[in-house]
Each structure stands twice: as C-alpha cells, then as structure tokens.
Amino acid sequence: MLEAIVSEIGLQKDYLNNEPLETIYFGGGTPSLLEEKELDVIINALNNHHSVKEDAEITLEANPDDLSKQKLAALKRSPINRLSIGVQSFHQTDLEYMNRAHNAQEADDCIKDALDLGFQDLSIDLIYGTPTMNDDQWLANLHQTFAYKAPHVSCYALTVEPKTALDHFIKTGKSVPVDDHQSARQFELLVKEMTNANYDHYEISNFCLEGRYSKHNTAYWKGNWYLGLGPAAHSFNGDSRQWNVANNAKYIQSIKEGKVPTEVEYLSEADRYNEYIMTAFRTKWGVDLSKIINWGYRVHDRFLEEVQVFLDQGLIIRKENFFYLTQEGKFLSDGIIGDLFMD
C-alpha cells in the first residue's frame, strides 16, 4: 500500500497544476498505523513531485487509543506538526454508546501527553446529541476542552448512518434513538460556550482561537483545489471531481500497471453554483453576491428571490452584499442550502 501511494504521488504530480502544497492531511482509515519512517517516505515523495511550502500544515488524524506516549514521541520527530484527535466525549457512557475503542481516561491522557511533548497545534473532535449525554455532561466536555487551550475544536451532532451497528440497535430497540430537540439545544449551548471562551465560530461545526483556522478545511470551504491519494480518496480541480476505487487490492494492482483507478465527474454550471452555495454558507465569510453574478443575472435574480424567504424567517441575514446563516439557520443549514440549490 505504501509503495502504491508513493507511486500515485508521481502519477498525479500534474493534477494541481504546479501549485505549491499548503496543507497535507493524513486521514481516513487509520493513518496512525504508519511508522515514523513510513511517514517520511510519503513526505519525501511529495517533496520530490511538488513544491511544499516551508510552513505547510501537516495533520495526522488519530483516535486516543492509537496515541500512546511512545507513538506521540515518534510523531513529534516526524514532519507531522498538527494532530486531529477524535475524542468525541470525555464520558465513558457516551463512548460506549458510540462504540468507540478508547475510554475516557485515554482521551484525557493522550491530549496531555501531546501537549507535554510540544504539539502546539491540536484539533479536538467532539460529538453532541447522544442519548447518554445530558446538557451538564455536554458542558463538562466543552469545559474540559477549554482547559487544554486546544486551538481548534470540531463539534458534530450525532447522526445515525443507514446499515451501521447503531442504526440496527435503534431499529431493534437495543438503543435509544437520537432526539433532534436535544441536538438543537446542545448546539445552542455549544455556540454560547465557545463564544464565552473566545473561540471564533468560523464554520458551522468548527471553532478556533484567534487566527488558528484549519488551513486544510478552510481551503476546502473556499473552493481551493485539492488532491486525494490512496483508496477512496477524492480530488477536485475546479472543473471536475474524481475519486479512487475503494477496494485496496484493485487500487494497488491498477497503480502497479501505471494507471490511477479513478472515476471522474465533470461539473456543470449548476454544480459549480451549488458547490459555492453549499461551502460559502457554512462559513463565517458567507455568500458574496458579487460572485453570484458570475452565473448571470437570471441566477442572480433567482437567488435574491429565493433567499428572501429565509431572510423573512430570520434564518439568514444580509450585510451589504454578503449573506450569512443566523445561529438558528446554522442548525438548519442542510435544508436551507438544499432549497437554494440550482436544479
């Protein structure tokens, strides 16, 4: 697999049109399985085929049970300069409900160890809306996160995906279903507590201390190009999206034959418009009317007509030529954005 990924770096070297790499993100699967020397092999291959900025943000995604003190020490010696840690909760009952492999103590220990070893750039993932989590527990999770002075926090409402173990347990009565009212209430608590702790709510699910945005995520929301490497990885170059085959064996075999096993979807004008509406409304920077005009006056006028419904409902606000979701609108963002899509 490592050899195939390194080979794909060479095969895809022209995808980003020689633009320098500002971020590198090791995510999906379990990238923490990579040893220090294996991370070096991938980073060296990227340096050989791309211009990597000296201050590039290089993130590794991991769960607390993967981050022993020895593992963290090895990562500190590697080019990794940012960790995204999937804590989800500091309460054992929540972790058991979500079927997480780590326990509450491991969540606390790995963050403290990372800080002790000098990792200054941490992102902590939390989940709210689990039936096992009352409001006081959710507040305790947030306050424990604030105590670490984590520069970046991502918070998501629990969603039940079809055909998962949790979906089966709920349908068979073994688990309590998710309560949307609880999720909405805990989202309001989240925004209030983050504001009081001086975190910038710069995207619906993401918060940071002053200036500590995730470069990687922000690039996506601003419509920048990106290249994904490995099985099931997705890429975007403004005109099209592409995604690699998800099957490991098929991926490796195709790369050995010198071919990237990818499917390509070319974006229509409507696709590009919908992509902009979807990503811009999720951020604090909002939708810029001067960009909407790029799709022509018909689309411009249609947007103004359709967005008025949400302005009247207090779900969107307008400041000069920019449109933003209100706090209530943010929790209902999927439906609002979908209604504003171009057919």
Q: How far is CA 75 from the centre of its chain?
A: 21
Question: What is the pLDDT at residue 58?
Answer: 97
Give 244: exposed, middle or buried? Use CB within 10 Å, 0-12, 13-18, 19+. buried
Residue corresponding to tokens 């909407």: 292
Task: Judge contact between 124 and 153, C-beta under 8 A.
Answer: yes
For 106, list phi and psi in degrees, rounded to 5: -65, -35
For 58, list phi and psi in degrees, rounded to 5: -120, 105
Question: What is the pLDDT at residue 28?
Answer: 80
Tokens of residue 270, six digits: 């409507």
Flag residues of the chain having pLDDT under 50: none
Question: What is the pLDDT at residue 303?
Answer: 97
Question: What is the pLDDT at residue 108?
Answer: 94
Number of H helices, E strands in the chain: 15, 13
Question: What is the pLDDT at residue 161?
Answer: 81
CA distances for 245 relative to 26, 106, 231, 234, 258, angstroms:
18, 34, 6, 10, 15
**For 5-15, how does the pLDDT look when each residue is reduced to its tens digit (9 = 90+)?**
999 999 999 99
Question: CA-to-CA distance for 46 and 34, rounded, in angstroms?
Answer: 16
Tokens of residue 111, six digits: 């963050």
Q: Are strands 234-236 and 262-266 parallel, antiparallel or unpaired?
A: unpaired
For 160, list phi and psi in degrees, rounded to 5: -100, 110
Report, at the CATH architecture level, how domain 269-340 is classified. Orthogonal Bundle (1.10)
Question: What is the pLDDT at residue 130?
Answer: 93
**For 69-106, how does the pLDDT look when each residue is reduced to its tens digit (9 = 90+)?**
999 999 999 999 999 999 999 999 999 988 889 999 99
- pTM comes to 0.91
For 313, list phi and psi in degrees, rounded to 5: -85, -5
Question: What is the pLDDT at residue 98?
Answer: 86
Give the sheet arrangement for strand 316-319, strand by strand.
Answer: 287-288, 322-325, 316-319
Question: CA-to-CA distance for 253 and 339, rounded, in angstroms?
Answer: 42
Question: What is the pLDDT at residue 149?
Answer: 95
Q: Where are the alpha helices (DSSP H) in the chain?
A: 2-11, 36-49, 69-77, 92-97, 104-116, 135-147, 165-171, 180-196, 215-221, 248-256, 269-281, 289-292, 297-312, 327-331, 333-340
112: nearest Cα among 141, 69, 62, 66: 69
Question: CA-to-CA distance for 108 and 204, rounded, in angstroms?
Answer: 25
- Same CATH topology for 20-221 and 269-340: the answer is no
Question: What is the pLDDT at residue 169?
Answer: 79
Q: Does domain 20-221 have CATH number 3.40.190.290?
A: no
Per-domain residue ranges of the chain: 20-221, 269-340
